[in-house]
Amino acid sequence: MNQPNTEFSAIVRITPEVQSQLAESNVLLTRVKGYVVDSDDSAQIVNTDLQSIKVAARNLDGIRKSIVKPLDEARANAQAFFVPAIETLKIAEDHCKRLLLSWQEKIEARRREARRKAEEEALRIRQKQEAEAAAARAKAEEQAREQRRLAEEAEAARKKAVAEGNARAAAEAAARAAKAQEQAAAVVQKAEAKIAHQEQVAPVIVAPPIAAPEIKGFSSRIVWKARVTDKQALVRAAAERPDIAALLLVDEKAVNRLAGALKNALNIPGLEAYEEKVAASRGA
């Protein structure tokens, strides 16, 4: 395996000649900005300076490349020297993060399971209480009906005693009827009070606490992302909703290549082929 060069230094020297050529670029720009082409002669003057500008640009670019090359080589050597180790450490970092995220997810899964079991137990107890309350109400209502039946019988006996003129029997029957009515109300009231008390003292089911892992310097957060599941559906939606049209990026290079190949024959909705004149100049 080839080891990268460990020499990263590069020296850049700008000679007075080069500085002069750099300054000349501003002189040329100032001069050509003052030109007005209104005749063949003035066009020839501009073209002559154009050739000089191209030569000067080529010369400066050559000097630039000679200077930049050792800098690029030094940068490339530094990259080759450090990047593999940095990428290796990034892989190790990502692996550690995945392990810690997995551990956090396990703890959260335990919490969810504990909550689920607590909710199931609370539901079981509530359903049991409701069933017991329904049974207690039914039993109390049955007892109350029996007392009301006794009260009705006593009322009938009272009416009969009154009709027969038996005041004593009528009074006794009235007392029995009142007592039966009172007992019927008392049975229902007692049952409701007992049910209310049971509901108040019912145990509250709470999920057992599961401590979050305390990992110094490590944290996680939720990041929402989106993926394209149906490109055609996204295109149709963008056509109807201008607010999301920017989600569809146009590949301008591909579009221009297509226009260059088809020219006026380009026929795609939303695209237009057009001409643009581009200047060109051959060096002297």
Please state, in angstroms and rounded to a whole number, the distance separating the CA atoms of residues 72 and 67. 9
Q: What is the pLDDT of residues 233-274, one digit of tens each?
A: 988 898 888 888 888 888 899 999 999 999 989 888 888 999
55-73 residues labelled b (16+ CB within 10 A) or e (exposed): eeeeeeeebeeebeeeeee
Residue 214 in this model has a pLDDT that exceeds 50: yes
Contact by Cβ (8 Å): 195, 133: yes
Which is more confidently placed, 90 or 145?
A: 90
Tell me how many domains the chain contains: 2
| One domain for residues 190 and 233 | no
| One domain for residues 160 and 114 | yes
Q: CA geometry: angle at 95 spanning 90 and 99, to 5°?
A: 145
| One domain for residues 247 and 108 | no
Q: What does the pLDDT read at residue 96?
A: 93
Q: What is the pLDDT of residues 47-88, one digit of tens each?
A: 988 998 899 999 999 988 888 888 888 888 888 889 999 999
| One domain for residues 57 and 165 | yes
Residue 7 in this model has a pLDDT that exceeds 90: no
Both tokens of residue 128?
């049991």
Please state, in angstroms and rounded to a whole number, the distance separating the CA atoms of residues 72 and 49. 33
Q: What does the pLDDT read at residue 6?
A: 65
| One domain for residues 158 and 266 | no
Q: What is the dihedral of CA 132, 138, 143, 149, to 10 degrees?
A: 180
Instruction: Answer yes or no: is 41 within a domain.
Output: yes
| One domain for residues 186 and 264 | no
Both tokens of residue 169?
């029997």
Instruction: Answer yes or no: is 124 within a domain.
Output: yes
| One domain for residues 113 and 254 | no
Instruction: Answer yes or no: is 216 within a domain.
Output: no
Please state, in angstroms and rounded to a whole number, the distance separating the CA atoms of residues 65 and 67. 5
In the chain, the percentage of residues whose pLDDT exceeds 70 is 92
| One domain for residues 195 and 253 | no
Backbone φ/ψ region at 4: left (φ over 0), alpha (ψ -120 to 50), beta: beta
Instruction: Answer yes or no: is 212 within a domain.
Output: no
Which residue, chain included where needed, has tokens 């050529």? 21
Backbone φ/ψ region at 165: left (φ over 0), alpha (ψ -120 to 50), beta: left
- pTM score, whole prediction: 0.53
Which residue, chain included where needed, has tokens 């000067």? 56
Whole-angstrom CA distances from 74 to 1, 28, 66, 84, 150 are 20, 34, 13, 16, 111
Instruction: Answer yes or no: is 6 within a domain.
Output: no
| One domain for residues 71 and 164 | yes
Contact by Cβ (8 Å): 53, 32: yes
Q: CA geometry: angle at 60 spanning 54 and 66, to 5°?
A: 135
| One domain for residues 38 and 161 | yes
| One domain for residues 74 and 190 | yes
Instruction: Answer yes or no: is 63 within a domain.
Output: yes
Identify the domain containing residue 234 by its residue range. Answer: 226-277
Identity at 208, one-letter amino acid code: P
